[in-house]
Amino acid sequence: MAALRNVRRVCALASIGLIALQGTAAAQDDPLATGTVLEFSIGAVHTMNTLQDQLTTPNNASLAAVPGPTIASTSLLDIGNGARVDLSFSRNITSDLRGFVDISFSETSADQVLTLASSAFPGSFDDGFLIVGGDRYAFDFEHRTLLASAGVDFAEIGGVTIGAGIQAGLLEQSSLLVRNAGARIINVDATNRMFGVMVRASDYTSLSDRTGVRFGASLGVLANSYDYDFLNSSGGGVDQQASASGETGVISYAFTARLEHALSAQTFLTMELGVEGFSGIVNGFDTFLDFRGRETSAFVERGVQSESYLSVGVAHRF
């Protein structure tokens, strides 16, 4: 829910900014809506912590002789920061249709050491191997996203360009927990492979003869094939091992605000702020911290995973 609240905030700010800019800026044609345009950007990305805000089920309550402490918030976990690159290409197919291809890749990671004194996090299984308070834990999170879209912009409604196409994505998550320098090691991996259709909309508003702002949004409906693996080991032996795979539906979304400044008649400097993510994916991080699994039967959590980013780049019109 935290990620959805962040998305709503970005949408509201973007809408307010767009209304204000439309009321004050002079009308001007979109400089990147004609010809052949190649764009490249690179920037910093942050994977949002979309885990449960508050877990209140007592740790190990059903099976332990002495139940553990009440589980506290997972908000103190740092899921990760990293880099993002994006490459896009567009050109006119006819006077009314403009084709586009966009490919983005991001990777984040985080290493964090915590000593849990009065609270504890649950593991994927509620069977006596859960994480308990009072010990030192090293968390290691990794997150990779590859997303590709291709389609056609085919209409303009009230100055807003509308497009549609196909979308494919790969989302990989892995988490590693090490207790007391190796006394127990827990590995969780989740992979989501997605393919479906998407729609998008964008609006360009001129701020001056050389500078403008572009707001964009996209929404995709994707079929998802997932794999999930869990391994819990101690003393060189495997205590728990489970895996799961299946098919689900996923919603992809993106919201962007981009400032564009002309360096010449053909070349533009860009700076973009965005939020993008998926709803319904199999979340390796969330499943790792979920208490509803039982022994060797994995409970696979379907949740939201979002990223926020800030990038700079260049767009060139041929």
Which CATH fold would you assign to the domain 2-317? Porin (2.40.160)
Q: Is 212 helix (H, G, I), strand (E, B) or coil?
A: strand
Residue type, 137: Y
Q: Kindly tell me the burial class for residue 102, based on how many C-beta atoms sit within 10 Å of its own C-beta (0-12, 13-18, 19 or more).
A: buried
The pLDDT score that the predictor gives to residue 129 is: 46
Query: What are the tens digits of pLDDT across the range 108-161?
Result: 999 888 765 544 454 444 444 455 555 677 888 899 999 999 999 999 999 999
The pLDDT score that the predictor gives to residue 136 is: 73
186 closest CA partner among 115, 58, 108, 285: 285
The pLDDT score that the predictor gives to residue 1 is: 43
Question: Residues in the chain with pLDDT < 70?
Answer: 1-28, 51-76, 115-135, 286-299
- The secondary structure of 17-65, three-state, reads HHHHHHHHCCCCCCCCCCCCEEEEEEEEEEECCCCCCCCCCECCCCCCC
The pLDDT score that the predictor gives to residue 200 is: 98
The b-or-e profile of 182-199 (16+ CB within 10 A means b, else e) is: eebebbbbbbbebebebe
The pLDDT score that the predictor gives to residue 138 is: 82
In angstroms, the CA 289 to CA 116 distance is 14
In angstroms, the CA 10 to CA 214 distance is 14
The pLDDT score that the predictor gives to residue 73 is: 52
Q: Residue 244 is inside which H or E element, if any?
A: strand 237-262
The pLDDT score that the predictor gives to residue 207 is: 96
Strands 302-317 and 98-116: unpaired
Q: Is 174 helix (H, G, I), strand (E, B) or coil?
A: strand
User: Which residues face 266 on adjacent strands?
Assistant: none
